[in-house]
């Protein structure tokens, strides 16, 4: 049981480049989430997917898009990266919106 996996672990982009962060879970969870964590701050929700086939905006969705590819996979895309998107990105999953979340190891993204 790998839990929640994220790829890549590290990424450096130039301003304006695009990339997709991948997330997969093997716990048969219905709900999946993308957060960003900046120094001295808690996690902020970017987008979430309550169940397969649905996605909704969180607190800080601007500059991002998501795809819930199937029940296992939830990807986050940066279409045109900006330095303000330099952060650590975490994917999480839970069996329902009301229960504990399981987190991946994170992706450290630097935008130059």
* 3-state SS record for 41-92: CCEEEEEEECCCCCCEECCCCCCEEEEECCCCEEEEEECCCCHHHCEEEEEE
Nearest to another protein of 14, 98 (CB atom): 98
Is residue 46 a contact residue for another protein (CB under 8 A)?
Answer: no
Residue 30 interacts with another protein (CB under 8 A)? no
- DSSP single-letter state for residue 106: -
Residue 61 within binding range of another protein, rule CB under 8 A: no
92 binds another protein (CB under 8 A): yes
Interface residue with another protein, options 10, 42, 53, 62 (CB under 8 A): 42
d(CA 67, CA 2): 21
The site for another protein (CB under 8 A) is made up of 4, 35, 40-45, 48, 58-59, 90, 92, 97-106
């Amino acid at each position: 049981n790998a839990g929640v996996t994220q790829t890549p672990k590290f990424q450096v982009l130039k301003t304006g480049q695009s990339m997709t962060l991948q997330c997969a879970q093997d716990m048969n969870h219905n709900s999946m989430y993308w957060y960003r964590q900046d120094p001295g701050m808690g996690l902020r929700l970017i987008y979430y997917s309550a169940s397969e086939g649905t996605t909704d905006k969180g607190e800080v969705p601007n500059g991002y898009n998501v795809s819930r590819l199937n029940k296992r996979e939830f990807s986050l895309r940066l279409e045109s990266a900006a330095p303000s998107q330099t952060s650590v990105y975490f994917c999480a999953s839970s069996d329902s919106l009301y229960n504990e979340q399981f987190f991946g190891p994170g992706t450290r993204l630097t935008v130059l």
